[in-house]
Structure 1
Amino acid sequence: MAVVTGLLSSLTPVLYALLFLLFVAFLSYCAYIKYIHMKYDHIPGPPRSSFIFGHASIFLKYINSDRLIFDKMLEWSETYGPVYRINFLHKILIGVTCPEATKEILMSSKYPKDKGFHKRIFHLFGVRFLGDGLVTAVDHDLWYKHRRIMDPAFSSLYLRGLMGTFNERAEKLMERLSEEADNNREVTMLHMVNCVTMDVIGKVAFGVELDLLNKDSPFPDAIETCLMGLVVCARDLLYEYKPWNRDFVQKVRTACRLLRSTGAQWINERRMAMQNGENVPKDILTQIIKSAGQEEHMTKEDEEIMLDNFVTFFIAGQETTANQLAFCIMELGRHPEILEKVKQEVDNVIGEKLDISYDDLGNLTYLSQVLKETLRLYATAPGTNRELDEDMEISGIHIPGGVSAMFSSYVSSRMEKFFKDPLKFDPDRFHPDAPKPYYCYYPFALGPRACLGKNFAQMEAKVVMAKLLQRFDFTLVPGQSFAIKDVGTLRPKSGVICTIKHRHQQ
């Protein structure tokens, strides 16, 4: 006992000194936060919930209650104006809806993506996820190298050549829906279109037959799990360390490993084919391999970046298009007069032919308006960010450098100042003669970092919707929710449950 007492006595000064140092460090950090407040508090914004944690509790409340944080951002934008401030610890985020600032920042390569956000989604709970892929790469030179090599897979000429695959995969969906109609079964349309868009990306991007409408696959669940993991990882820095989250954290890790191991297998098979002199398509998989350079000895990081791009394109190439299609079906089901008008256009342009041509797509002008209006209300990739390293002025407000700027097409597209009666679904907003929205509608982002697959996605969406409208009548099952679910992308929470009938069926 005397030995223990003596040991504690000798440690007491050390413990006191340590506690004193921690106390001084805490006071110094609080002083620094106060300095940040004084530097940025002239920017309008909602009251902080906490001196230290700022607005973090509001974000966590929305995540935990399954509400859409972008609706809160919309409220803040309408209350505090075209630029507003958000605090988190010593970090400052600003929400921006000013069209002039949106143009200046997003259209320039001068403003990089937020490095802090990139770090949070580089890995998911210790397993590499999006890494330094084309969407997430912060370093401009690395991004430019990827983008330049990927361009051939998205050229207009190459995309025209994909019409056969778009038609073929959409036709498989029509066959499946015909079976459901014959058996009078309710159909969850989000699941159906998710299967077809994943089939398309598997075939045209990676040369793989998935046939998800007829076969079980772990990929849809793995992608959803990873996206949910991305959301909680990006918005709750302590999520991984809460014991009650362990099962989901492990599920996310397993899903990440599945996607990356699948990518490694498909890349190796294609690389062997290229080395053997076989003819391979100029698809995304080929370009991913070229993006690492074809050096004789690739580094481990080269291999990882190839997998980063595989995961990026496998997810982005199907997820947002499927969600857009599901939201489109949902809104057409809620607006019979618009549904009849777009059906009439499809009948006039397509008639009864099975294969839709590239030229047909250009003649489906009202369907284009419907799809654009869908993305206005439901920007399936709802936000992006940029770092402002230097001082600038936005809407007359001085913004000191060192902040991250948040941009959201979902938010700006739902603001009365930009769109009259913004919650009304009105495709005529995008009539060819209507005034064009000025930097407040950008569902595929803007500038050099705009979505490379925009044209690919809209061609695919048009083919699927045209065939659906050509063949079937659909009615929304009563009582379902029209709420939005945030899984990193936005999707219909209900899944869009419909009854399906063959056109003109009595």
Structure 2
Amino acid sequence: MSLLSVVFTLSAHVLGSLLFVLFVAFLGYCAYLHYVHLKYDHIPGPPRESFFFGHSLIVWRTMKNDDLTHDVFLKWAERYGSVYKINVLHHVLIFVSSPETIKEVLMSSKYTKDMFLHKRLFSMFGQRFLGNGLVTARDYDQWHKQRRIIEPAFSSLYLRSLMGTFNEQAEKLMTKLADIADKKSEARMLELVNRVTLGVIVKVAFGMDIELLENASSPFPDAIETCLKGMVHNIRNALFQFDPRNWAFVEEVRAACKLLRSTGAEWIRDRKSAVQSGGDVPKDILTQIIKSAGKEERMTKEDEEFMLDNFVTFFIAGQETTANQLAFCIMELARHPDMQEKAQKEVDDVIGMKREISYEDLGQLVYLSQVLKETLRIYPTAPGTSRDFVNDIVIDGIHVPAGAICILSSYVSSRLERFFKNPLEFNPDRFHPDAPKPYYCYFPFSLGPRSCVGKNFAQMEAKLVMAKLLQRFDFALTPGQSFEIRDVGTLRPKGGVVCAVTHRKHCGP
């Protein structure tokens, strides 16, 4: 027998063995899928479209049509009740809108962030993204150490000291809007508030000034946008990066992640050197974090990486969600001129013509607080959170075996008729001080120990920007405006909130 024949025979044997192993693995996976289906099929839920892909095809189709997947989840909650399941390959997702279970899961530290989402946020397409920062850390001790280091930077006492910087950055938006009003041109409010909130987080948190309202060529807004788009695809389509048609975009996402992390590494390194040398450093959140970390008994190289993870987290979450809340708030006040007028009157009564708004002033803007809370009810910019069910649990009489992923959707809960009468109606009086408080069905910043550390920061910023806007301008939506929502991981107005902006009579040019 020739050498070529031997090689050919061996190759055929190897190929045959490989095919046999793959066939056995395929049968094993089919058997496991069948077992998973049997384990959870007593739980209500929509019918699967595919034995293998479960409900993934519905989600992919919704995304391809540029429709909102959260509306699909809401429709299923209305049909199947407070607990229902969907299948994504071999994963089982349990959507819960039972207030008692929401309370139990979010108020306890025993329910860890789920591994499915953790893996897809830790890195994107092989490039580290949020890593093990505050949002993604699953280990309680690891998370608690970071929270302990970061929390002082978001205390009310420290945030009060930043009011001057909040005012300074918000004034840049007012100057830009005054110019737009003078020229009688259209204002793309989502884009403008995106840039000002990014400017705020960069200045207030990291002591840098990148003049985003004037510098349209800055790479940061595009990098954040690219990361958010990549995040959605990475979470909802496990096969996305393997499609050659997506490879160019995948590389863009990797480059955007690298830009944010390399920028963060440089800023943190420079600031640490300045702190250690006793130099003059800004009294910002980054300085607070570095000083708090210095008080820890032991800081490892991994802790340094966590600091960078949190830089990226703050960079994205610290501006994107607040910008979207502002844009939705502007959209709704423009749709309801009577509410806009009522909010303006309150601002006039509390602030008058002052340019420097104080922390005490913000506390007196009660109606504006109601407007902002109602904005987050109907448009929760961070639409939900998730946990692992590591133990069996009974939800409203339905037994849920361990091993499933628990999905808690603020978007769904906030739009259910059983919790809010006429839920799609924008009604700030729901949050009047004398109105009954929502019972564990309203959680735009999550709840419990893992609630958003930057909640007070975000709400101070949103209220101050809106107060200045209402103080000086009237705004109306341009005709043909879309009120649809776009999902980029966070929720934002699809139409961009294009407005005609005019000076109020007492604030003319």
Would you call these one fold, judging by a TM-score over 0.5? yes
Q: Distance in 1 between matches of 2:297 and 2:420?
A: 55
How far the C-alpha of 1:441 sits from its partner, in A, is 0.5
| TM-score (normalised: structure 2) | 0.96
1:2-47 superposed Cα distances (whole Å, 9 cap, x missing partner): 7655544454444434333322222222112111111111100110
Counterpart check, 1:326 vs 2:289: no
Structure-to-structure mapping, 1:332-411, within 5 angstroms: 332-411=333-412
1:63-115 superposed Cα distances (whole Å, 9 cap, x missing partner): 22211111111011111110001112221110000000000001100100001
**Greater CA deviation, 272-281 or 293-302?**
293-302
Q: Distance in 1 between matches of 2:494 and 2:142?
A: 36
1:300-345 superposed Cα distances (whole Å, 9 cap, x missing partner): 5333222111101111111111110000000111111111111111
- The answer for the alignment partner of 1:449 in structure 2 is 450
Unmatched segments (≥5 aa) in structure 1 = none
Tell me if the contact between 1:481 and 1:494 (Cα under 8 Å) persists in the aligned partners.
Answer: yes
Instruction: Tell me: CA distance 1:288–1:249, structure 2 relative to 1, closer, same or farther (3 Å).
Output: farther
Q: Distance in 2 between matches of 1:291 and 1:244?
A: 46
1:341-386 superposed Cα distances (whole Å, 9 cap, x missing partner): 1111111111111111111111111100000000001000001001
Counterpart check, 1:167 vs 2:178: no
- The answer for the alignment partner of 1:228 in structure 2 is 229
Q: Distance in 1 between matches of 2:22 and 2:213?
A: 59
Structure-to-structure mapping, 1:17-96, within 5 angstroms: 17-96=17-96
Instruction: Tell me: CA distance 1:104–1:297, structure 2 relative to 1, closer, same or farther (3 Å).
Output: closer
Q: Distance in 2 between matches of 1:288 and 1:357?
A: 25
1:106-144 superposed Cα distances (whole Å, 9 cap, x missing partner): 110010000121011111111111001111111111110
Tell me if the contact between 2:153 and 2:289 (Cα under 8 Å) persists in the aligned partners.
Answer: no
Tell me if the contact between 2:149 and 2:293 (Cα under 8 Å) persists in the aligned partners.
Answer: no
Structure-to-structure mapping, 1:94-243, within 5 angstroms: 94-216=94-216, 217-243=218-244
Paired amino acid for 1:82 = S
Q: Distance in 1 between matches of 2:10 and 2:430?
A: 77
Instruction: Tell me: CA distance 1:468–1:478, structure 2 relative to 1, closer, same or farther (3 Å).
Output: same
Q: Distance in 2 between matches of 1:111 and 1:297?
A: 27
Instruction: Tell me: CA distance 1:370–1:296, structure 2 relative to 1, closer, same or farther (3 Å).
Output: closer
1:221-254 superposed Cα distances (whole Å, 9 cap, x missing partner): 1101101111101111111111111111111111
How far the C-alpha of 1:289 sits from its partner, in A, is 3.2
Q: Distance in 1 between matches of 2:295 and 2:243?
A: 44
How far the C-alpha of 1:210 sits from its partner, in A, is 1.7
Tell me if the contact between 1:292 and 1:303 (Cα under 8 Å) persists in the aligned partners.
Answer: no
Q: Distance in 1 between matches of 2:285 and 2:109?
A: 24
Q: Distance in 2 between matches of 1:426 and 1:269?
A: 47
How far the C-alpha of 1:148 sits from its partner, in A, is 0.8
1:125-169 superposed Cα distances (whole Å, 9 cap, x missing partner): 111110011111111111100101111111111111111111111
Q: Distance in 2 between matches of 1:79 and 1:47?
A: 12
Instruction: Tell me: CA distance 1:297–1:347, structure 2 relative to 1, closer, same or farther (3 Å).
Output: closer
- The answer for the alignment partner of 1:478 in structure 2 is 479
Instruction: Tell me: CA distance 1:274–1:332, structure 2 relative to 1, closer, same or farther (3 Å).
Output: same
Q: Distance in 2 between matches of 1:11 and 1:208?
A: 61
How far the C-alpha of 1:483 sits from its partner, in A, is 1.1
Paired amino acid for 2:34 = K
How far the C-alpha of 1:213 sits from its partner, in A, is 1.3
Unmatched segments (≥5 aa) in structure 2 = none
Paired amino acid for 1:442 = F
How far the C-alpha of 1:288 sits from its partner, in A, is 4.0
Q: Distance in 2 between matches of 1:80 and 1:4?
A: 64
Q: Distance in 2 between matches of 1:202 and 1:14?
A: 57
Tell me if the contact between 2:154 and 2:454 (Cα under 8 Å) persists in the aligned partners.
Answer: yes
Paired amino acid for 2:106 = L
Q: Distance in 2 between matches of 1:20 and 1:260?
A: 44
Tell me if the contact between 2:348 and 2:471 (Cα under 8 Å) persists in the aligned partners.
Answer: yes
Q: Distance in 2 between matches of 1:199 and 1:341?
A: 29
Q: Distance in 2 between matches of 1:45 and 1:439?
A: 23
Instruction: Tell me: CA distance 1:344–1:180, structure 2 relative to 1, closer, same or farther (3 Å).
Output: same
Tell me if the contact between 2:197 and 2:319 (Cα under 8 Å) persists in the aligned partners.
Answer: yes
How far the C-alpha of 1:268 sits from its partner, in A, is 1.2
Secondary structure at 2:500 match in 1 = strand
Q: Distance in 2 between matches of 1:222 and 1:89?
A: 31
Tell me if the contact between 1:154 and 1:452 (Cα under 8 Å) persists in the aligned partners.
Answer: yes
Instruction: Tell me: CA distance 1:17–1:30, structure 2 relative to 1, closer, same or farther (3 Å).
Output: same
Paired amino acid for 1:213 = L
How far the C-alpha of 1:201 sits from its partner, in A, is 0.9
- The answer for the alignment partner of 2:276 in structure 1 is 275
Instruction: Tell me: CA distance 1:294–1:5, structure 2 relative to 1, closer, same or farther (3 Å).
Output: farther
How far the C-alpha of 1:292 sits from its partner, in A, is 5.7
- The answer for the alignment partner of 2:313 in structure 1 is 312
Q: Distance in 2 between matches of 1:50 and 1:462?
A: 47
Q: Distance in 2 between matches of 1:281 and 1:172?
A: 20
Q: Distance in 1 between matches of 2:73 and 2:224?
A: 26
Paired amino acid for 2:37 = H
**Greater CA deviation, 18-27 or 315-324?**
18-27
Q: Distance in 2 between matches of 1:289 and 1:353?
A: 35
Secondary structure at 1:317 match in 2 = helix
- The answer for the alignment partner of 1:244 in structure 2 is 245
Q: Distance in 1 between matches of 2:256 and 2:203?
A: 21
Q: Distance in 2 between matches of 1:35 and 1:465?
A: 53
Q: Distance in 2 between matches of 1:463 and 1:209?
A: 19
Q: Distance in 2 between matches of 1:338 and 1:146?
A: 41
How far the C-alpha of 1:284 sits from its partner, in A, is 2.5
Paired amino acid for 1:302 = D
How far the C-alpha of 1:450 sits from its partner, in A, is 0.3
1:261-315 superposed Cα distances (whole Å, 9 cap, x missing partner): 1111111110111111124355321244357657999755333222111101111
Paired amino acid for 2:54 = G
Q: Distance in 2 between matches of 1:57 and 1:293?
A: 49
